[in-house]
Amino acid sequence: MVKVGVAGYGVIGQRLADGVARQKDMELVGVADVAPTLPVRALAEKGMPYKLFTAVPEKRNLLDDVGIPVSGTLEELVQEVDIMLDATNAGVGAKNKEIYQKYNTKAVFQGGEKNNVADVFFHGYANYEKGIGADYLKLTSCNTTGLIRAIDAIDRAVGVVKTAITIIRRVADPGDYHRGLTNALQVAEAPNHQALDLMTIMPHVDATGILIHTPVTHGHIITPVVTTKKKMHKEELLEIFKAHPRIRVVRLADGFLGNASLFKYARDLGHPRGDMYEIAVWEETIVNSGDDIMFAINIPQEAVVIPENMDAIRAALKMQTSRDEGVAKTNEYLGMKARG
């Protein structure tokens, strides 16, 4: 049984912990954080289903003073595990890497860290093989993760030459206030980092894109225009997407009118926190533009990267040494399946 620890119990960290706990061939040893944040307080109120370790020993009193049980320090957690999933704030993971190296413990970092923190820039479907046996892997951002799922699926079927993307980006996660209250759309400089990151993972694809920040919190929407080696039509693309366990095809006609509809549907399904691991493609948005094809996808930013993190564990620890076997195990334990 592979032993896993999580550093940072925030938006991504708590979902990573839940994801690991669902993997029948992994054991979640514990999670580490600094202070009694709301997720940490909720963990305590739920009866501490996961052991909590203090990430900064000299600040342990912050947890002790409010009666939250502490099982040890981050350094002690690192010594107990085979691999760490680091979901700390950008820059903190690079500092934590010194602890991981000290004890020869592998680690997976999230999209906010700089690429040089890791040996491999990783995506479960697009370049699983590059992560096999690697000591330090870095995941792509939520937008890039979901985008690559769709582009990779098309690329494996007919080959992708280039893509141009527009990202309508939520400005903050639910519950966040650091971006302030706003009534505006903000345009970012092109090309956006998601297009550049896609080309890092899939260097044979020419990608560019524009990003627009929007004052919403539940999900991003991306509209790719894809140039393929062989012209694709709607029905062919629908078959590809419906066969993909991490892509959910939805219809406007069925009431999936936008990002809020998908978030509500995840809650109606009984998913914790309204999490959804799949990206969604709206069937009615798939259209041809000359020889190109375009469509719109929804990125549930809080949970979309969890499957790829599980893939990263499997690759780094050589639990499965082929892409198909690795992602299949992750999908099985997370309950993800094709809906074709």
**Model pLDDT, residue 181:** 66
Mean pLDDT of 177-190: 81
**Model pLDDT, residue 340:** 72
- With a cut of 70, say whether residue 34 has pLDDT above it: yes
Q: From the candidates 12, 28, 142, 198, which is the catalytic residue?
A: 142
- As given in the structure block, the two tokens for residue 258 are 């936008």
**Model pLDDT, residue 309:** 98
- With a cut of 90, say whether residue 53 has pLDDT above it: yes
Residue with tokens 């990263």: 312
Q: Which residues contact 185 (CB under 8 A, 6 or more apart)?
A: 212, 213, 214, 215
Residue 146: φ, ψ to 5° = -70, -40
Own/partner long-range contacts of 24-29 (Cβ < 8 Å, ≥24 apart): 24/333, 25/1, 25/319, 25/329, 25/333, 26/1, 26/2, 26/310, 26/313, 27/1, 27/2, 27/3, 28/4, 29/3, 29/4, 29/5, 29/77, 29/80, 29/81
pLDDT digits (tens, 9 = 90+) for 254-294: 999 999 999 999 999 999 999 999 999 999 999 999 999 99
pLDDT digits (tens, 9 = 90+) for 203-235: 999 999 999 998 887 889 999 999 999 999 999
**Model pLDDT, residue 217:** 78
Query: Which CATH number, 3.40.50.1980, 3.20.20.140, 3.40.309.10, 3.40.50.720, labels domain 2-140+305-334?
Result: 3.40.50.720
Stated pTM of the model: 0.94
**Model pLDDT, residue 176:** 65
Share of the chain above pLDDT 70, in %: 98
Q: Which sign does the torsion angle of CA 16, 19, 24, 25 carry?
A: negative
pLDDT digits (tens, 9 = 90+) for 142-156: 999 999 999 999 999
Query: For the chain, which residues make up each domain, given as ranges?
Result: 2-140+305-334, 142-299
- With a cut of 70, say whether residue 323 has pLDDT above it: yes
Helix (H, G, I), strand (E, B) or coil at 93: helix
**Model pLDDT, residue 324:** 97
Q: How far apart are CA 36 and CA 176, in angstroms?
A: 16
pLDDT digits (tens, 9 = 90+) for 77-104: 999 999 999 999 999 999 999 999 999 9
Q: Which sign does the torsion angle of CA 317, 307, 218, 274 carry?
A: negative
Q: Does 25 carry a binding-site annotation?
A: no
User: Across the chain, how many H-helices and E-strands are there?
Assistant: 12, 16
- With a cut of 80, say whether residue 167 has pLDDT above it: yes
Could you confirm whether 62 is annotated as catalytic?
no
Q: How far apart are CA 247 and CA 327, in angstroms?
A: 13
Fold agreement (2-140+305-334, 142-299)? no
* Mean pLDDT of all residues belonging to the chain: 95
pLDDT digits (tens, 9 = 90+) for 97-142: 999 999 999 999 999 999 999 999 999 999 999 999 999 999 999 9
* Domain 142-299: top CATH class: alpha beta
